[in-house]
Amino acid sequence: MDVKSEEAEILEIMRTHSDAMKKGDFPVLLDLYSKDWRDYHGATKDSLKHRFEKTGDKEKDLSLSGNVQDIDISTAHLKIKDDKAIFTPVIHSSSGGSISYAHTLRKEADGVWRLVYTKGIDWETFPLDDEGRMDKAAIAQSALATRRFREQVMSDPHRPGYHIVSPEGFGAPFDPNGAIYWKGRYHLFYIFQDQRFGKKLDHWGHLSSTDLFHWRHHPTTLLVGMYSGNCFINKDGIPTICYHQVDKGNAMAIALDDDLNEWKKLEVITPETKEGDAYHDEYRSWDPFGWLEDDTYYAIFGGKNPGIAKSQTLKGGWHYTGDLFAHGVEGIALDEDLSCADLFKLDNRDILMGISHKIGCRYYIGEWKDEQFYPQSHAQMSWKDNSFFAPESLVDDKGRRIMWAWLMDVVHWRQGWERGWTGTMSLPRVLSISDNGMMLIDIPEEIEALRYRPFSRNNLKIEANKELTIEGIRSNSIELSIEMESEEAREYGVKVCMSPDGKEKTIISYDPLRKVIRIDASQSGAREEPKNVEEGPFSLDKNEPLKLRVFVDKSVVEVFVNRRQALMRFIYPSSNSLGISLFSEGSPTKVNRFNSWHISPSNPF
C-alpha cells in the first residue's frame, strides 16, 4: 500500500475513533485499540474495557477526557515511519475544559492500523473556542521564547548579579536617566533600543526599588526618540522630566500617577530664535537638565558651549539667558563637551556633573549664582578611556546624594550579539564633600544586606616582591575591605579573579611614586587586552593607610579608595579564575585587616 493510501486509512480510523468516542459506541471504540495499548497514566486496554462495561450508560461518557462535547482533529498532523504512525493533536473539549492528545498507531500482523499508545500533550481547565486556542498558542510561543532567553542570560558566566543590567536586548546607550526618590521608592529610568515601531528607536525603561539593590521593572509610556534627561518636582508637586526628544528638541513631560508609569509629554521647550536675536544659533537643543528654583524653571542645554534657558511655566515662554559657564578652569577648554548634565548642591557647594564624550564622566565644584555656574575646580571620574559614562543622581529621604553611571564597554557590545544583552550600570555611589572641599565617594550601606560567608584576617605581612595567597576564598561575586600600609614599597595591592596557574588576574594597586590607583585588567581573561587598564590620581597623606573596598561582580570590578577615589574596569575571566592574593613590590607591606564577604545576586535574572 502506498503512503497516500495509508494516510487515508489512518485518517478514516481516527475519524471513526472520534465519532465512537462522542457517541459512546464502546464496541466500535475498543476494536480500534491494540491489545498492547497503554496511555501515559498506565491504563491498558483491559482497564479501559472494564471502565466502559462497568458504566453501560451512554449518557455518561468515559472517554479519556471526561464529558466530551466535541473532538477536533482538523488541525492534526500525521507522521508515518515504517509500521508506526503519530496523529496529533486530537482536541477533546468539554464543559470542564479541554485536553489535547497525541495517538500512536501501529500496523499489526493482520494489516490493520490500531492505537497502541496515547498521551496528553496539553490541557486547560476551562473551555476554549478556536480563537481562544489560537491566543493560547501565541502566548505559549511567546512564553517559551521568554524562558529560553531568560535561561540564556542566566547562563552567561559574565552577567553581573548585583549591578543593574539590561533585562534583555541592547542598551547602547544605556544611560541612567530621570532618577528620583518618590513616595518611598527609588525610581530610575534608562535608555534602551528596540524596533517595535519598525525601526530602531530609543525609549526609556523604568525600574524602582526600596533598597537600591533589588529592582522591579515597570511598564513605561516613555517611548520613541527618548534621550538623556532628568526628573524634578514641579510647582504643583508633580514629578517632571526634562529630556531630549529626538528630531524635535528638548522637552518636558509630567507624571500622571504615583507609580510613575504614565506620563504626558508637553511641548518642546527649545527657545525659538531668528537671525538678529540674542543667542541665535549659539546653543544646541541637546542633553538638557531641568529644575525649579524659587518660582522659575531653568534648563541647561548641553553640548559644546552649553547654555541656560528659563521660563515661568513648563509649557511655554522659554528663552535663553546666556552661557552656562561664567568662566573656565585650568586644563579644561571652555567649550569642552558637557552632556548628561546634572546640577546639585552638596553641603554649601554646587556640583555640576556630566560627561565629555571624549573623556567620560567628570564634575566641577563651584557656585551657581546669577544664572551662571562659576567653577572653582574640575575632576574626572574616568581617565584612560570614557568607560564610566552618563552620570545621573538623586537625593533620597535620608539626604544622601546617590549617583549611577553607565559602564560603557565597547568589547561587550561585540559580544552582546551572542549573549542577547548589553547594558550595565555602576553600583550606586553616595557623594559628599569633605571639610577641605574634596568630593567623597562611598557605597550605600544597603549593600550589607547582600553579604554572606564573612571572612577576616588581621595583621598579615607581605614580604618584598612576594605574594600572599588568601586561602579559603574563591569567588567572582565578592566584596573585599582591606587596610594596608607600607613605608617604601613601590607598588602594593590585591589581585582578584586569579586562575590557578596565575596567568589570568586583575591587579588593583597603589603606586605612591606616581601617585595613582590602578586597575590592570590586561590579563584578566584568556585573551590579553593591553589597553584594558584604568588609573586615577590618588595620594595618601602622611601616616595614612591605604583603604580599599573592592567589588567584583562577574565581569565588573569597582574599586573605592579611602572614600576619595573610585574606578572601574570590565573583565572577562575564565570560570575557574576565582583566586585572591595580596602583593608588595620593592619592600614589605603590612596588612592591618583583610575582610571579605560573598555578595548575593540581587537581580531577578
Q: Are the C-beta atoms of residues 562 and 546 closer than 8 Å to each other? A: yes
The span from the CA of 22 to the CA of 17, in Å, is 9
Q: Does the structural domain 451-599 have CATH classification 2.60.120.560?
A: yes
Has this prediction a pTM greater than 0.75? yes
For residues 484 and 589, is the Cβ–Cβ distance under 8 A?
yes
For residue 136, the model assigns a pLDDT of 84
Rounded to 5 degrees, what are φ and ψ at 109?
Answer: -60, -30
Using pLDDT thresholds of 50, 70 and 90, give the confidence band for residue 59. Answer: very low
Average pLDDT over residues 4-23: 94
The grid coordinates listed for 173 are: 546607550
Confidence (pLDDT) at 586: 98
- The pLDDT of residue 290 is 98
- Residue ranges of the domains in the chain? 3-128, 172-442, 451-599
Query: What confidence category does residue 124 fall into, taking pLDDT thresholds of 50, 70 and 90?
Result: confident
Could you tell me the pLDDT band of residue 54, with boundaries at 50, 70 and 90? low
Least confident window among 225-234, 521-530, 537-546:
521-530
Strands 169-170 and 439-442: unpaired
Rounded CA gap, 588 and 462, in Å?
5
Residue percentage of the chain with pLDDT more than 90: 82
Nearest to 75 by CA among 98, 63, 91: 91
Mean pLDDT, rounded, of the chain: 93
pLDDT at position 2 is 81
Q: Which residue has the cell 538638557?
A: 288
Let me know if the fold of 3-128 is the same as that of 451-599.
no
What is the rounded average pLDDT of the residues 213-237? 96
Residue 410 pLDDT class (50, 70, 90 cuts): low
Which numeric CATH code is attached to 3-128? 3.10.450.50
Concatenate the DSSP letters of all residues of 87-144 into one string. EEEEEEEETTEEEEEEEEEEE-TTS-EEEEEEEEEEEESS---HHHHHHHHHHHHHHH
The CATH H-level (homologous superfamily) assignment of domain 172-442 is Glycosyl hydrolase domain; family 43 (2.115.10.20)
